Amino acid sequence: MGKICSGFGNSDTSEALMPKLVQALEYAVSEGCDTFYLGKMGNFDSMMKRATGELKKKYPHIERILVIPYITKSLEQNKRDYEREYDFILLPHEIVPVPPKYAIIRKNEWVIDNSDIVIACALNPYRGAGKAVDYAKRKGKHMINISPDESQCPETDT
């Protein structure tokens, strides 16, 4: 198994950042990432899904894994659609006993703990993505900043 890449950005991330996101994902593949952990909470997650979908056409060996904090009605009712959109759906067993109020935070920490590269685009440090990016920085993760205002995001080493 190769390396794992994940990304965190605000739910209102601008579509104008899509070229930077694609470039960051291409870099991750060049660094050995073949697994991409994805979320489903807002526009950044939607952009990651679309960008990795395009990437999969170029690199069919990559896997797109939806990591969820809990089972939702949408997942139960539309399971076949989810299975067509992602290679795998993962609810980490460590998160199952966590109350729903804290499950997203714990899911984000689990994703970061298990990622080799983290793509960051979180302008607000007090929202979920900003907290996740701060956690990744504290963990010393290899980070790629695609934020339009780089003073707002952690330093990167690319």
Helix, strand or coil, per DSSP, at residue 52: helix
Tens digits of residue pLDDT in 82-124: 889 999 999 999 999 999 889 999 999 999 999 999 999 876 7
* Residue 98: inside a domain: yes
Could you tell me the residue range of the domain that residue 97 belongs to? Answer: 3-152
pLDDT at residue 153, as a whole number? 41
- Res. 156: pLDDT tops 60: no
pLDDT per position as a tens digit, 118-143: 999 876 777 888 899 999 999 999 99
H-helix segments, 90-149: 100-113, 128-138
**Cα separation of 6 and 80, whole Å?**
24
Q: Does residue 63 register a pLDDT over 50?
A: yes
What total of structural domains would you count in the chain?
Answer: 1
On whether residue 157 sits in a domain, the answer given is no
Q: 158 in a domain, yes or no? A: no
Output the domain CATH number for residue 64. Answer: 3.40.50.450
Q: Across the chain, where does the E strand assignment appear?
A: 3-9, 33-38, 63-67, 88-90, 117-121, 142-145
Q: In this predicted structure, what is the pLDDT of residue 147?
A: 85
Q: Is residue 30 part of a domain?
A: yes
In a domain, 65, yes or no: yes
| Residue 78 maps to a domain | yes
